Copies of this chain bind each other. A is one copy, B any other.
Amino acid sequence: MRTINVGLIGAGFMGKAHSLAYAAMPMFFWPAPAVPHRKIICDVTEEAAAEGAQRYGFDESTADWKRVVEHPDVEVVDIATPNHMHAEIARAAAAAGKHIICEKPLARTAEEARTMYEAVRDAGVVHMVAFNYRRTPAVALAKRYIDEGAIGELISFRGTYLQDWSADPESPLSAGGADQLGTGRSAGDAPRGPVDVDDEMITMLRFSNGAIGSLEATRNGHGRNNFLTFELHGTEGSIVFNYERRDELQVCFASDGADRKGFRTVYTGAPHPYGEALWPIPALGIGYGETKIIECHDLFQAIVGQEAVSPDFGDGYQIARISDAILESSATESWVSVPPLETTPGRG
């Protein structure tokens, strides 16, 4: 079984989650596509990086991210830095021929994302954006239902992301220190910078197949924690998901008899996506860590050439275009069209 060396840039909260995935992936997925080896970790100071190496089990540490990108033994570069550094690092890693996994969002603008996508496309490396919530088994099950046509043609979508933190968006790599994001501190002692992200947004959506929808997000919803939900209506059924109860998928099939119709609460486990690999006993339950472990598996499967990975930088680029369109729509108070995008998947 092949061992593949990883270089991780960013020892903050996301660095922790990714390190867990590298250590645990083969425990869950066996035989593993390959065994990740934690080679080198980077953070803003030598001290923070060294502490990260000890804590997360990396061989080496550095405060210079270029050392990671240029490291001859590193095959995969993992970008877990603040958003504004994604593009430069990703382009350098692609130029060095490294496979890349980059935390979400891929970039701050579509233009920035485009340069990243083109760099990995031209380099012919595997590229992935870490939209790990898609790896939640219940979300993957929803996708399976849709692909099977179990709820018919989609006619509407509504997504919400409601939370109640007004956290300092200053990132770990800027402030330094392992597992730091500032949000875990409930007391008022966390150092804060000015809040420069929008705290609340709503937008309406029209899809090319005629479906309609909406997106809403806020950080001001007292009592909402990670209320990341979607509700899908199709001509033959409905699907509802809420990450706060991420082990459950609600699905209603129109074909059920009139006196037996209602939302089914499907509790994900062995019969569902990734279920055999995870916990082979009903309802032991999935946490955030498992979504990262699955993501890691899918990445390494692509690296060893078994399957193309999704979502890749092409997807990340398209999502950046949608984000830009939402901002433009808000500024111009008008509908903005986002045409389809033809992209080349990462090698796989």
Min CB gap A6→B, angstroms: 15
Whether B26 lies near A23 (C-beta < 8 A) is: no
| Contact among B214, B220, B262 for A264, CB-based, below 8 A | B262
The answer, yes or no, to whether A290 is at the interface (CB within 8 Å) is: yes
Min CB gap A262→B, angstroms: 4
Which one of A93-101, A267-275, A297-305, A320-328 is at the B interface? A267-275
Min CB gap A293→B, angstroms: 9
| Contact among B24, B204, B247, B262 for A20, CB-based, below 8 A | B24
Whether A266 lies near B270 (C-beta < 8 A) is: no
Whether B281 lies near A184 (C-beta < 8 A) is: yes
The answer, yes or no, to whether A178 is at the interface (CB within 8 Å) is: yes
The answer, yes or no, to whether A344 is at the interface (CB within 8 Å) is: no
Q: How many residues of A contact B (CB 8 A)?
A: 103
Whether B245 lies near A245 (C-beta < 8 A) is: yes
Residue among A27, A265, A279, A290 with the highest chain B CB neighbour number at 10 A: A27
Cα A220 to Cα B186 in complex, Å, equals 35
| Contact among B245, B271, B334 for A186, CB-based, below 8 A | B271
Identical subunits present: 4
| Contact among B253, B260, B282 for A266, CB-based, below 8 A | B260
Whether B223 lies near A23 (C-beta < 8 A) is: no
Cα A277 to Cα B244 in complex, Å, equals 19
Whether A286 lies near B287 (C-beta < 8 A) is: yes
Q: A184-B270, A287-B284 are in contact. Are A252 and B222 (CB under 8 A)?
A: yes
Whether B216 lies near A158 (C-beta < 8 A) is: yes
- Collect the chain B residues with CB atoms within 8 Å of residue A225's CB: 267, 269, 282-283
| Closest 7 A/B residue pairs (Cβ) | A184-B280, A223-B252, A287-B287, A225-B283, A226-B283, A284-B288, A258-B271
Which A residues are closer than 8 A to B by beta carbons?
1, 13, 16-17, 19-20, 23-24, 26-28, 30, 32, 54-57, 141, 144, 151, 155-156, 158, 160, 162-165, 178-179, 181, 183-186, 200, 202-204, 212-214, 216, 218, 220-227, 231, 233-238, 240, 243-248, 250-254, 256, 258-267, 269-272, 275-276, 279-290, 333-335
